[in-house]
Amino acid sequence: MKHIVKERLRTIFLGKRLEDAALASEKFNVLWGIPVFASDAISSVSYAGEEILLVLIPVLGMASFGTFLPIVAAIIALLGILVFCYRQTIDAYPQGGGAYIVASDNLGENAGLVAGAALIIGYILTVAVSACAGAAAVTSAFPALHPWKAVIALVLIALLTWGNLRGMRESAVMFGVPTYLFIGTMLLLIVVGIVRYASGSYTPAETQIVVSNAQDTLLFVILRAFASGCTALTGVEAVSNGVPNFREPAQRNAKTVLYAMAGFVCIVFFGVSLLINMYHIVPNEQATAVSQLAEAVFGSGSVLYYLVQVMTVVILTLAANTAFAGLPLLMALMAQDGYLPRRLIYRGSRLNYSNGILFLFVAAAILVLAFNGDQHLLLPLYASGVFLSFLLSQLGMVLHWVRRKGPGWKTKAFINGFGTIVTATTLVIIVIMKFLQGAWVTLLTIVLLVWLMHSIKKHYAAVSDDLTIPTIEAARALLLGGDEPSSTPAPRGKVILPVQTLNRSFIKVLNCASDFEGAEIEYFHVASSEEQAKKLKEQFAELGVRGTFVYEITHYRNTEEVLLRHIEAEHAALPPHGHLTVMMASLIVRNRWARPLHNQTTQTLIRRMEQYRNVYVFQVPYLI
Amino acid sequence: MKHIVKERLRTIFLGKRLEDAALASEKFNVLWGIPVFASDAISSVSYAGEEILLVLIPVLGMASFGTFLPIVAAIIALLGILVFCYRQTIDAYPQGGGAYIVASDNLGENAGLVAGAALIIGYILTVAVSACAGAAAVTSAFPALHPWKAVIALVLIALLTWGNLRGMRESAVMFGVPTYLFIGTMLLLIVVGIVRYASGSYTPAETQIVVSNAQDTLLFVILRAFASGCTALTGVEAVSNGVPNFREPAQRNAKTVLYAMAGFVCIVFFGVSLLINMYHIVPNEQATAVSQLAEAVFGSGSVLYYLVQVMTVVILTLAANTAFAGLPLLMALMAQDGYLPRRLIYRGSRLNYSNGILFLFVAAAILVLAFNGDQHLLLPLYASGVFLSFLLSQLGMVLHWVRRKGPGWKTKAFINGFGTIVTATTLVIIVIMKFLQGAWVTLLTIVLLVWLMHSIKKHYAAVSDDLTIPTIEAARALLLGGDEPSSTPAPRGKVILPVQTLNRSFIKVLNCASDFEGAEIEYFHVASSEEQAKKLKEQFAELGVRGTFVYEITHYRNTEEVLLRHIEAEHAALPPHGHLTVMMASLIVRNRWARPLHNQTTQTLIRRMEQYRNVYVFQVPYLI
């Protein structure tokens, strides 16, 4: 049987089907939770510093290195504040859900939807940006691959999709070990780099940089650089969003992962930035800042240089994986609330949200293609959405504490209040500094998404109102010809059999029409000439079957139109509760390649007849 | 009603529907026949000379201009021979059909298919090459548009498709006048150019050309240049192919068009080539040879220069139109013989072969995209296929005369025999010279197409064998439960109603099930738990409807699979001539945008049930 073969293929590709009961065991402990939930923030080391420099250097030249480290320090301080704030979110929301849940819980539906939309965009951009930055690490090491950057990014995304379709646990094991290797490699880079610099065995090349006519004030430039660097903080919310994905005690494990993440980001981000500053690295089109740094520290072409590049690709892949863990969960949550298509709720055969995973794949792939794999163009879209969700989450937490009170609520509200002010300030800076470069796209998309979500909710409510029957009595009242004396008698439906020629497939339909014993049967024929119609009519008479032969002549080769108009007229003339059955053979060609050889007339007709409420289609397959 | 609105839109877009009887009046006289059938050959002026020079100049440098004109003269001589030969084809085949008909008539099925395949490829390339060359004329005049060359070519093809979907006559009127303007413009260019040159008011710039280390012999280079120039002759067969598209007297009109075409090509091609030679035009990436020539003669930026460019675009558009006139006709012919999908036979509402037109659009668009709008890369694919069809056509004509005899058959056979030798020689030259550059692709595609056409023919024959019933007696014997004493009694089909919950759409199906009065009815439910199933079973008992309630439990969220496996089992257990009816509601969402919000479960199930020969699907639409 075909479905057995298909099942076997799906097992090879996706792994064995998992029972509903297997859900509990597919959860993370701290060791595997770190790579899955913290890699996004850790990975930003590979591009955040570079983004800051890309703003500073064209204006300030080598003087950039005077302001670079303070900006990095400010971002790390911001990270510290966020960790403090999200710690409280994990405490308050053990069921997870992050900004979407917190905002809708405390600030109402619209704030929740805005936060949800911002998170969705953020997750998609995480995948797109990380894949492009990973591809940049590859092309930095192998400049010959530069024209294939977008393709490399797409391959990375496709591999991640596949891994995630196979299921949660395996994705953690598959990607876990390398994160720790990445952290180790970066620590090695930092230590060796500092030692080499301190021992004086390296002198930075004094590159000549043409500085543009700086019309912006220094403050403006620094704020813009800060806004660019804030991309380092994307992904901080993933942990609080995914609390139910942790093993028990879930909250404690989640908090441990949150701290570990902050610690690693702090050390690696600051260490690498320090080195970039010491070595006066100037990022360019061909090689990323980290690539140049590793070359300077370990020597061009050395094994350790390639190790850094490989690990960068791996950590960025992991960062994208954060989104694959987070987005489908978030979308399932929002779909359960009726704001997104219901198919996002269902878990696939491997207990993951396969539709959400596939959605993420498609959305990220489109972004990578549209921006031709250039992360510098994608990053301005990124931070504004993420900080909007941070802000709503913090604001929601303040109201949460204020309303619920409970022990120490004032301190807690104060911490989240401070977080609100800080994230609001950062968001304003980001939106102003990045508005024309892309923040407007993000904000506009958020507005559209919120509108879309409202419409979806309204649609589902209408459908449910339409379909639901409150009680069995109500259902019984709807039955036609039931035993109740009150019930309407069921009128017999007329059966129409469209016919072109008397061939085997039509005879098969004819045989089946005997199922409708008492019904009126009509054979409807569309001819291009009177003779053709007469001839078929005679054949029917000779055949001697029950029913009336009706025909219509057309000179416009539009057989389908004529048939449909006939059915429309019959439909219009139906009595109340009446219906019409159209019986048709559909030619099923087993050979897939031979299908385009047949006019899909039957399928087109069926699709077009769907508009008539009381026209039922009886399809008799004729297999070839 | 919706279909009235649609009909009105189609009238605006495609024009009024035409009756079958309108076919006769949609034909060409000589005046409009020339632009439609001869524009391909005439338009080649804009690229054929350039292709010759692109072969010569890298090897011979400025010495190229010594061999350029003789090559042009040889190609014009070849044109003369072909005109003589095709004149005889028009005489012998008033019903038209060109190489495909001639070859299959006289040389058998396979030769006919090879010729047909070669012609199909030729027509597609005509569109692709002409559109790209037209785009090159645009980008020569406006270099800023250079990156958009492929897009411009696609727009040209799309406009042509639209024009041709509107119908034949209008395409002739729409494009007719400009052809004559093109010829006039070219004559003006030639006369002014010769006068300027003769009066000594122009001295060719002696460009320095780096000549590659010529390892090829002079003969080899000249032959390759000749092979490149042969693209000028593509399209000569269009007239003989389309004889039935001419007004009566069709044959005489067709011949007049053939002569007119040859005359125009001869004058314009030779004239322009002469000027290119005089003015020492060297084609480059940025500007075509004709564009440079017009600039030299009329002055850069002058009105007349732009007129030449505009007219070049127009004539190339017309050339592409030749294919839009020829290919759908040829494919309809081949489809009638059963070698191509049958849908190519049907004329659309405007009496043209709309499916063939759309096929040509898609195929040409793919080529333009794949070759990024570069006609220099497309041209090597072109000539080999065209000359293969010429050769088969000539060889077929020789056999035609030899077999039929008739007055003067010896002279006629001799003329076509000479044509055979000349086209065979040219074909050999083209294939050898262009093999690696693309001729191999063309030849391989021809082989594949021929194989495909054989398969299609075989498939249709098998289907027809399967469906046809020779006599009414045979048809009567196939009827179940007929009046004949011999006939098999019709077994009643069991009716299965899959059910998830008791909602309105299910009640609608339930009401309809009463149509099957005597049949066994089964309600089949897939539950994820025993309680869920029990609850529904109770509701059914309370409702009190006829039929058995059957359920199955699954823990793998694969409701569809379980249902399908149940149906498969029931299907396997059917008695001979038995059948099974599956009744299902299909949720029809009127809002198009809301459709993705519903799992298309019903549609998927219907598609998957098609594999079971005796499972019939009864679809009850539930409109929302």
B559-586 pLDDT, tens digit per residue, is 888 899 999 999 998 888 888 899 988 8
> What residues does A494 pair with on adjacent strands?
A580
Quote the pLDDT of residue B45.
80
Q: Exposure pattern of B30-69 as b/e (b: 16+ CB <10 Å)?
A: eebbbbbbbbbbbbbbbbbbbbbbbbbbebbbeebbebbb
Judged against a pLDDT cut of 60, whether residue A20 lies above it is answered with no
CB atoms within 10 A of CB A105: 18
Task: Give, as one character, the DSSP assignment of residue B439.
Answer: I
Residues with Cβ within 8 Å of residue B294, at least 6 apart in sequence: B189, B304, B305, B308, B309
Q: How many CB pairs under 8 A join A and B?
A: 221
Mean residue pLDDT across chain A: 84
The first and second tokens of residue A168, run together, are: 């949660």
> Chain A: residue nearest B350 by CA?
A556
Residues with Cβ within 8 Å of residue B518, at least 6 apart in sequence: A517, B492
Q: Exposure pattern of A249-262 as b/e (b: 16+ CB <10 Å)?
A: ebbebbbbbbebbb
Tell me the chain B residues in contact with residue A503 when contact means C-beta distances shorter than 8 Å: 467-469
Quote the pLDDT of residue B168.
53
> What residues does A489 pair with on adjacent strands?
none
Contact B41, B258 (CB under 8 A): no
| Out of A475, A518, A581, closest to residue B543 by CB | A475
Residues with Cβ within 8 Å of residue A125, at least 6 apart in sequence: A234, A367, A378, A381, A382, A385
Contact B431, B382 (CB under 8 A): no
Quote the pLDDT of residue B2.
55
Judged against a pLDDT cut of 50, whether residue B41 lies above it is answered with yes
Angle B425-B426-B428 from CA coordinates, rounded to 5°: 65
CA B108 to chain centre: 24
Quote the pLDDT of residue A14.
61
Quote the pLDDT of residue A569.
92
Give the confidence band of B400 by pLDDT, cuts at 50, 70, 90.
very high
CB atoms within 10 A of CB A431: 18
Cis peptide before B70 (omega within 30 of 0): no
Residues with Cβ within 8 Å of residue B277, at least 6 apart in sequence: B65, B68, B69
Quote the pLDDT of residue B213.
60
- Radius of gyration for chain A, computed over Cα atoms and rounded to the nearest angstrom: 32
Judged against a pLDDT cut of 70, whether residue A274 lies above it is answered with yes
Contact A75, A47 (CB under 8 A): no
Residues in chain B: 624
Q: Which of A514, A600, A615 to mutate to test the interface with B (most CBs of B within 10 A)?
A: A514
For residue B216, the one-letter residue type is D
The first and second tokens of residue B7, run together, are: 């009909």
Residues with Cβ within 8 Å of residue A233, at least 6 apart in sequence: A41, A44, A75, A78, A79, A82, A383, A386
Q: Which of A10-24, A189-203, A574-588, B359-373 has the weakest average pLDDT? A: A10-24
Cα A543 to Cα A540: distance, rounded to the nearest angstrom: 5
Which among B373, B372, B354, B422 has a CA at the least distance from the CA of B393? B422
SS3 A544: coil
Judged against a pLDDT cut of 60, whether residue B3 lies above it is answered with no
Share of chain B above pLDDT 90, in %: 32
Give the confidence band of A376 by pLDDT, cuts at 50, 70, 90.
confident
Strand (E) or helix (H) holding B99? helix B98-107
Q: Do B581 and A475 touch (CB under 8 A)?
A: no
Contact A509, A583 (CB under 8 A): yes
Q: Do A468 and B503 touch (CB under 8 A)?
A: yes
Greatest CA separation found in chain A?
107
Higher pLDDT, A235 or B374: B374
Which among B437, B430, B432 has a CA at the least distance from the CA of B230? B430
Quote the pLDDT of residue A485.
46
Cα A599 to Cα A616: distance, rounded to the nearest angstrom: 22
Judged against a pLDDT cut of 60, whether residue A568 lies above it is answered with yes
As a whole number of Å, the end-to-end CA separation of chain A is: 18
Q: Does B595 touch chain A (CB under 8 A)?
A: no
Tokens 């012999």 identify what position?
B217
φ, ψ of residue B623 in degrees (nearest 5)? -85, 135
Contact B15, B26 (CB under 8 A): no
Q: Does A600 touch chain B (CB under 8 A)?
A: no
Q: Could you write out the DSSP letters of every residue in A259-302?
A: HHHHHHHHHHHHHHHHHHHHHT----SSS-HHHHHHHHHH-TT-
Give the confidence band of B588 by pLDDT, cuts at 50, 70, 90.
confident
φ, ψ of residue B545 in degrees (nearest 5)? -105, 155
Tell me the chain A residues in contact with residue B11 when contact means C-beta distances shorter than 8 Å: none
Cα B199 to Cα B184: distance, rounded to the nearest angstrom: 22
CB atoms within 10 A of CB B422: 18
A605-623 pLDDT, tens digit per residue, is 888 888 888 888 888 888 8
Q: Does B423 touch chain A (CB under 8 A)?
A: no
Q: Which of A415-419, A522-526, B381-385 has the weakest average pLDDT? A: B381-385
Q: Do A349 and B557 touch (CB under 8 A)?
A: yes
Judged against a pLDDT cut of 80, whether residue A271 lies above it is answered with yes
Task: Give, as one character, the DSSP assignment of residue B437.
Answer: I
Cα A122 to Cα A322: distance, rounded to the nearest angstrom: 11
Q: Does B409 touch chain A (CB under 8 A)?
A: no
Q: Does B349 touch chain A (CB under 8 A)?
A: yes
Quote the pLDDT of residue B540.
87
φ, ψ of residue A370 in degrees (nearest 5)? -65, -35
Angle A70-A71-A72 from CA coordinates, rounded to 5°: 90
Quote the pLDDT of residue A206.
59
Share of chain A above pLDDT 90, in %: 32
Kindly give the pairing relationship between strand A615-623 and strand A580-588. parallel
| Out of B514, B539, B616, closest to residue A481 by CB | B514
Quote the pLDDT of residue A623.
83
Which among A25, A24, A5, A23 has a CA at the least distance from the CA of A349? A23
Mean residue pLDDT across chain B: 84
Judged against a pLDDT cut of 60, whether residue A320 lies above it is answered with yes
> What residues does A552 pair with on adjacent strands?
A526
Q: Which of residues 469-488 of B touch A (CB under 8 A)?
A: 469, 472, 475-476, 478-483
Give the confidence band of A449 by pLDDT, cuts at 50, 70, 90.
very high
Query: Span B45-72, mean pLDDT?
Result: 87
pTM over 0.90? The answer is: no
B520-570 pLDDT, tens digit per residue, is 889 999 998 899 999 999 988 888 888 899 999 988 777 888 899 999 999
Q: Do B503 and A467 touch (CB under 8 A)?
A: yes
Judged against a pLDDT cut of 80, whether residue B241 lies above it is answered with no
For residue B179, the one-letter residue type is T
Judged against a pLDDT cut of 80, whether residue B208 lies above it is answered with no
Cα A299 to Cα A285: distance, rounded to the nearest angstrom: 20
Give the confidence band of A380 by pLDDT, cuts at 50, 70, 90.
confident
Q: Which of A102-106, A367-371, B26-30, B109-113 has the weakest average pLDDT? A: B26-30
Give the confidence band of B485 by pLDDT, cuts at 50, 70, 90.
very low
The number of helix segments (H) and strand segments (E) in chain A equals 22, 5
Judged against a pLDDT cut of 70, whether residue B64 lies above it is answered with yes
> What residues does B551 pair with on adjacent strands?
B525
Tell me the chain A residues in contact with residue B579 when contact means C-beta distances shorter than 8 Å: 512
Quote the pLDDT of residue B482.
52
Higher pLDDT, B325 or A524: A524
Q: Does A532 touch chain B (CB under 8 A)?
A: no
Cα B446 to Cα A346: distance, rounded to the nearest angstrom: 49
Q: Is B572 left (phi over 0), alpha (psi -120 to 50) or beta?
A: alpha
Contact B191, B298 (CB under 8 A): no
Quote the pLDDT of residue A566.
93
Cα A56 to Cα A50: distance, rounded to the nearest angstrom: 10
Cα B417 to Cα B397: distance, rounded to the nearest angstrom: 8
Query: Span A273-295, mean pLDDT?
Result: 88
The first and second tokens of residue B94, run together, are: 């008033």
Give the ipTM of the model, two decimals please: 0.70
Strand (E) or helix (H) holding B583? strand B580-588
Contact A287, A7 (CB under 8 A): no
Task: Give, as one character, the DSSP assignment of residue B286.
Answer: S
Tell me the chain A residues in contact with residue B588 when contact means C-beta distances shorter than 8 Å: 610-611
Q: Which of B17, B334, B511 to mutate to test the interface with A (most CBs of A within 10 A)?
A: B511
Cα A294 to Cα A291: distance, rounded to the nearest angstrom: 5
A210-267 pLDDT, tens digit per residue, is 666 656 688 888 998 998 898 888 878 878 877 887 888 888 999 999 999 899 999 9
Distances (CA, A) of B284 to A144, B17, B281, B305: 29, 48, 9, 18
Which among B389, B375, B356, B383 has a CA at the least distance from the CA of B128? B375
Angle A19-A25-A26 from CA coordinates, rounded to 5°: 85
Contact A516, A495 (CB under 8 A): yes
Quote the pLDDT of residue B604.
81
SS3 B127: helix
Q: Which of B507, B509, B537, B545 to mutate to test the interface with A (most CBs of A within 10 A)?
A: B507
Contact B377, B128 (CB under 8 A): no
Q: Does B566 touch chain A (CB under 8 A)?
A: no
Cα A210 to Cα A206: distance, rounded to the nearest angstrom: 13
Cα A133 to Cα A47: distance, rounded to the nearest angstrom: 7
Angle A527-A520-A502 from CA coordinates, rounded to 5°: 35
